[in-house]
């Protein structure tokens, strides 16, 4: 026991000695001759408005970065930085550039640091960024309703139909839900990883997304596994609504970001496409409760949990944009969805036990395959 | 999936822009939507700053720290020290030192330059046709350098490898006769050439015609010879068109005459309208095939390479030069109203990246 403690202190002391040695002898000394400062800049977002461009930038290197000049489309341009001065690592600044930009055309921004290093950003299609007034919020809410609330409502309306079918068909629909969730999981995770490419280095991009995802998954799992697996459809449906709601919040964020950045070509047709794509989400939520009595209030509650986050996401995504936070959110959402997959699988397992010999395995697999296929096909149709 | 959808959309002129969503609003709301209508001209950038004077570098360069002011460079003639040989002929001696210096080329943008005598462009070496020149070159820089003069000289004075290439800490004396008269240049001729030139190793080399040798054009020759009464009447300016690749991607970020972007548009060059203007124009711009000079509201005579006393181009307002091409511009504002007359590269790109200037005619 005593030896164990000594061993612990030996480790600590040796760590101290090594740190001291590195500090004193500095083996990197030979490699550090007059290197330019380790500075870097991330341009997180550029919006276009009546006063020109507004760029939101973040220091990305260990050394503060000083933005000395700004070029727009290969011309030095007047600008004002708020706050002024060098930008420290992870600190943000707003750069106002009074440039007469052209509607629906591409513009290139270039930021020159004091060392002459350049950081560029392309506005694919310049479009006046929506301003946060009542009317804009209302139209954004409409968009959120179109992609979130309406499709889920329609999906849930299939409840009377689902009540008519037998146990094994329920298994089919539950498995279909797993397929759908699997698709959403991959989609959400991909979305998060995509965002890390434009986040500051110190946030450690993809690692933070994966970590958030795993920790969320384990966290919720720990909570839910305190209870025994049950066939209680209400709990399951609630988990499903939460998972899908998180996904829809993310979807809203992406739509909002695209709208404010003006790099979206999102027509009304796309909206209808999304609605059809998300229809299955409503079916998924009610799949566990087809044999149970539920109140209208419960249905409304699930609808809100799953659908309303799309509106909130659209609002937040339009008026704020911090790639690292959004990426982290997508990580959390992916973790939550993964957990719901486990939850639904557990309940299918319970059904399998209850049904015994009557359980048709092929139904489960067919449902799963069908779930993925439906999501893939509707997504495909949106894009063509 | 959503972000991927957006990325796959064609960048340009999307007929269904993001705005296609917002017009949905009238379907549900009766309020007027003109403020958000993309077709409404009011919705684009209307800042007065954007249209008037928006195109500029922001801030000021610290010329004191740089050690040279572009306004002084215009008329700063390096005439060296004069000695006479036994036959009474003039020997003109110069001393040029290559040093590594960091210079501020646009407000707040610092460039690790290689320089002659700590300035870019290097000193304007000026002599008279036929004089014997001795240029002592000391290399205090971190790389081998040389001075390669555009002029008539022997092979061993050429400033290339094996003929006047100077290692760090060494020195060399270039000797040749100033010939032919004209507007010339010198630059470092060490490989890699592009890097050695665009880092700042170049300068003007002006050889004035000796009036005695040009009996048919004595007055013209006298007006070109520094220090004569005829010459004093002229306003002579040296302008070296240069550019800087600050991020070393083989493309210039900053263009200028005499190094500092937009300097002469922020502080215009004062011109006395009673006196004619002569510009020694030299192009050393690296990476771009040509550069040019264009004057507003006036026309000029142009002497390609300055090696003639009669113009090679009459009455033009734009002239272009490839790298190392140079010439003399002569013009007059005597019949002009006082005011600001712009001059710049007529590659709009170069003008907007710093090669934009102004004469203030008074």
Per residue in A229-262, pLDDT (tens digit) is 555 788 888 888 888 888 888 888 877 877 766 5
Tell me whether residues A125 and B111 touch, CB distance under 8 A.
no
Tell me whether residues A76 and B262 touch, CB distance under 8 A.
yes
- pLDDT for res B35: 39
| Chain B residues touching residue A102 (CB < 8 angstroms) | 44
CATH of region A41-123: 2.60.40
* Comparison of pLDDT for B345 and A368, the residue scoring more: B345
- pLDDT for res B196: 95
- pLDDT for res B17: 40
Tell me whether residues B44 and A50 touch, CB distance under 8 A.
yes
- pLDDT for res B132: 96
Spans of all domains in chain A:
41-123, 134-383
Q: How many residues does chain A have?
A: 384
0.90 exceeded by the pTM? no
Whether A302 has a pLDDT exceeding 70, the answer reads: yes
B171, containing H or E segment: strand B171-177
Q: Is B28 contained in some domain? A: no
* Comparison of pLDDT for A1 and A318, the residue scoring more: A318
Mean pLDDT of chain A: 83
Tell me whether residues B246 and A117 touch, CB distance under 8 A.
yes
Q: Are A317 and A148 in contact (CB under 8 A)?
A: no
Q: Are B217 and B255 in contact (CB under 8 A)?
A: no
Tell me the nearest-neighbour CA distance from A369 into chain B, angstroms: 20
Tell me whether residues A116 and B253 touch, CB distance under 8 A.
yes
Whether A204 has a pLDDT exceeding 80, the answer reads: no
Tokens 């511009």 -> residue: B329
Q: Is B16 contained in some domain? A: no
Least confident of A114-118, A286-290, B322-326: A286-290
Whether A108 has a pLDDT exceeding 50, the answer reads: yes
Short-list A338, A382, A370, CA closest to A215: A338
Tell me the nearest-neighbour CA distance from B250 into chain A, angstroms: 13
Q: What is the residue range of B240's domain?
A: 63-361
Task: Check which CATH number belongs to the domain holding B313 and give it.
Answer: 2.60.40.420
Q: Is B34 contained in some domain? A: no
* Radius of gyration, alpha carbons of chain B: 25
Short-list B359, B349, B280, CA closest to B76: B280
- In the structure, what pLDDT confidence band is assigned to residue A35 with cuts at 50, 70 and 90? low
- pLDDT for res A72: 94
- pLDDT for res A374: 84
Tell me whether residues B47 and A79 touch, CB distance under 8 A.
no
Tell me the nearest-neighbour CA distance from B190 into chain A, angstroms: 24
Tokens 């395995």 -> residue: A361
Q: Is B287 contained in some domain? A: yes
Average pLDDT for B128-138: 96
| Chain B residues touching residue A129 (CB < 8 angstroms) | none
- In the structure, what pLDDT confidence band is assigned to residue B358 with cuts at 50, 70 and 90? very high
- pLDDT for res A220: 79
- pLDDT for res B98: 97
Tell me whether residues B59 and A138 touch, CB distance under 8 A.
no
Q: How far apart are CA B26 and CA B32, in angstroms?
A: 8
Q: Is the ipTM of this structure higher than 0.90?
A: no
- In the structure, what pLDDT confidence band is assigned to residue B2 with cuts at 50, 70 and 90? low
Q: Is B37 contained in some domain? A: no
Other residues' Cβ atoms within 10 Å of the Cβ of residue B247: 16
| Chain B residues touching residue A264 (CB < 8 angstroms) | 6, 9, 17-18
Average pLDDT for A118-146: 86
Whether A268 has a pLDDT exceeding 80, the answer reads: no
Whether A97 has a pLDDT exceeding 80, the answer reads: yes
| Chain B residues touching residue A255 (CB < 8 angstroms) | 2
Which among B8, B38, B246 has the least Cβ separation from residue A112?
B246
A368, containing H or E segment: helix A361-383
SS3 A62: coil
Which among A135, A251, A267 has the least Cβ separation from residue B16?
A267
| Chain B residues touching residue A85 (CB < 8 angstroms) | none
Tell me whether residues B36 and A270 touch, CB distance under 8 A.
no
Q: List C-alpha distances in Å: A118 to A98, A114, A161, B80.
A: 20, 10, 61, 41
Least confident of A127-131, A234-238, A300-304, B266-270: A127-131
Whether A146 has a pLDDT exceeding 80, the answer reads: yes
- pLDDT for res A171: 84
Whether B16 has a pLDDT exceeding 80, the answer reads: no
Which among A99, A139, A263 has the least Cβ separation from residue B22?
A139
- In the structure, what pLDDT confidence band is assigned to residue B306 with cuts at 50, 70 and 90? very high
Other residues' Cβ atoms within 10 Å of the Cβ of residue A269: 11
How many cross-chain Cβ pairs, A to B, lie less than 8 Å apart? 210
- pLDDT for res A164: 85
Q: Are B203 and B186 in contact (CB under 8 A)?
A: yes
Whether B104 has a pLDDT exceeding 70, the answer reads: yes
Q: Is B200 contained in some domain? A: yes
Q: Are A67 and A81 in contact (CB under 8 A)?
A: yes
For B168-225, the pLDDT digits (tens) are: 999 999 999 999 999 999 999 999 999 999 999 999 999 999 999 999 999 999 999 9
Which among A69, A187, A379 has the least Cβ separation from residue B106?
A69
Whether B39 has a pLDDT exceeding 80, the answer reads: no
Q: How many domains does chain B have?
A: 1
Burial of B169 (0-12, 13-18, 19+ CB in 10 A): exposed
Average pLDDT for B62-74: 95
- pLDDT for res A304: 93
DSSP per-residue codes, A156-185: HTTHHHHHTS-HHHHHHHHHHHHHHHHHHH
Q: How far apart are CA B221 and CA B212, in angstroms?
A: 9
Mean pLDDT of chain B: 88
How is residue B221 written in tokens? 């020759």
């Amino acid at each position: 026991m005593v030896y164990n403690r000594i061993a612990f202190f030996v480790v600590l002391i040796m760590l101290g000695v090594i740190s001291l040695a590195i500090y004193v002898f500095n083996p990197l000394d030979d490699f550090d001759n007059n290197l330019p400062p380790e500075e870097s800049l991330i341009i997180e977002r550029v919006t276009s408005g009546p006063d020109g461009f507004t760029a939101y930038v973040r220091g990305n290197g260990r050394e503060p970065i000083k933005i000395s000049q700004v070029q727009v489309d290969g011309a030095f341009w007047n600008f004002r930085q708020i706050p002024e001065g060098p930008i420290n690592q992870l600190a943000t600044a707003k750069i106002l550039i009074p440039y007469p930009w052209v509607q629906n055309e591409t513009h290139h921004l270039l930021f020159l640091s004091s060392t002459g290093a350049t950081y560029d950003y392309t506005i694919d299609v310049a479009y006046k960024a929506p301003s946060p007034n009542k009317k804009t919020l209302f139209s954004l809410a409409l968009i959120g309703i179109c992609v979130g609330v309406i499709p889920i409502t329609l999906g849930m309306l299939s409840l009377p139909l689902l009540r008519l079918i037998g146990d094994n068909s329920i298994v089919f629909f539950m498995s279909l839900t797993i397929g759908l969730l699997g698709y959403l999981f991959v989609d959400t995770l991909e979305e998060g990883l995509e965002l890390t490419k434009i986040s500051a280095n110190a946030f450690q991009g993809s690692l933070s997304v994966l970590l958030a995802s795993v920790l969320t998954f384990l966290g919720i799992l720990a909570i839910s596994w305190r209870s025994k697996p049950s066939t209680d459809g209400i709990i399951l449906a609630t988990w499903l609504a939460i998972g899908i709601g998180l996904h829809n919040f993310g979807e809203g964020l992406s739509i909002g970001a695209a709208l404010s950045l003006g790099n979206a070509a999102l027509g009304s047709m796309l909206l209808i496409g999304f609605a059809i794509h998300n229809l299955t989400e409503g079916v998924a939520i009610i799949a566990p409760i087809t044999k149970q009595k539920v109140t209208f209030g419960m249905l409304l509650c699930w609808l809100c949990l799953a659908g309303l986050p799309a509106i909130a996401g659209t609002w937040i995504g339009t008026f704020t944009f911090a790639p690292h936070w959004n990426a982290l959110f997508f990580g959390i959402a992916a973790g939550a969805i993964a957990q719901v997959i486990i939850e639904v699988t557990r309940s299918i397992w319970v059904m399998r036990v209850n049904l015994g010999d009557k359980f048709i395995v092929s139904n489960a697999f067919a449902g799963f395959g069908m779930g993925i296929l439906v999501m893939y096909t509707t997504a495909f149709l949106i894009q063509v | 999936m959503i972000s991927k959808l957006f990325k796959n959309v064609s960048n340009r002129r999307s007929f269904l822009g993001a705005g296609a969503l917002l017009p949905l609003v009238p379907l549900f709301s009766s309020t007027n939507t003109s403020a958000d209508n993309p077709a409404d001209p009011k919705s684009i950038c209307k800042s007065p700053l954007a249209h008037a004077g928006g195109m500029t570098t922001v801030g000021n360069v610290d010329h004191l720290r740089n050690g040279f002011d572009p306004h002084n460079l215009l008329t700063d003639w390096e005439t060296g020290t004069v000695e006479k040989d036994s036959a009474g002929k003039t020997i003109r001696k110069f001393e040029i030192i290559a040093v590594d210096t960091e210079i501020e080329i646009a407000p707040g943008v610092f460039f690790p330059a290689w320089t002659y005598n700590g300035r870019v462009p290097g000193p304007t070496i000026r002599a008279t046709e036929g004089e014997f020149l001795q240029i002592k070159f000391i290399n205090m820089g971190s790389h081998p350098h040389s001075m390669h003069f555009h002029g008539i000289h022997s092979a061993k004075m050429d400033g290339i490898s094996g003929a006047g290439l100077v290692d760090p800490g060494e020195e060399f004396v270039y000797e040749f006769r100033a010939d032919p008269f004209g507007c010339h240049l010198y630059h470092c001729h060490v490989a890699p050439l592009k890097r050695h030139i665009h880092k700042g190793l170049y300068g003007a080399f002006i050889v004035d015609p000796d009036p005695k040798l040009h009996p048919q054009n004595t007055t013209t020759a006298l007006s070109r010879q520094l220090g004569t009464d005829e010459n004093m009447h002229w306003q002579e300016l040296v302008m070296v068109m240069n550019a800087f690749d600050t991020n070393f991607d083989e493309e210039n970020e900053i263009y200028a005459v005499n190094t500092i972007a937009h300097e002469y548009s922020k502080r215009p060059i004062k011109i006395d309208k009673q006196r004619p203007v002569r510009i020694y124009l030299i192009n050393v711009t690296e990476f771009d095939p040509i550069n040019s000079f264009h004057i507003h509201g006036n026309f000029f005579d142009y002497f390609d390479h300055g090696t003639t006393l009669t113009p090679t181009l009459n009455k033009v307002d734009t002239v272009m030069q490839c790298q190392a091409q140079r010439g003399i511009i002569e013009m007059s504002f005597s019949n002009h109203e006082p005011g600001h007359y712009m001059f710049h590269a007529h590659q709009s790109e170069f003008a907007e990246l710093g090669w934009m200037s102004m004469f203030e005619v008074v």
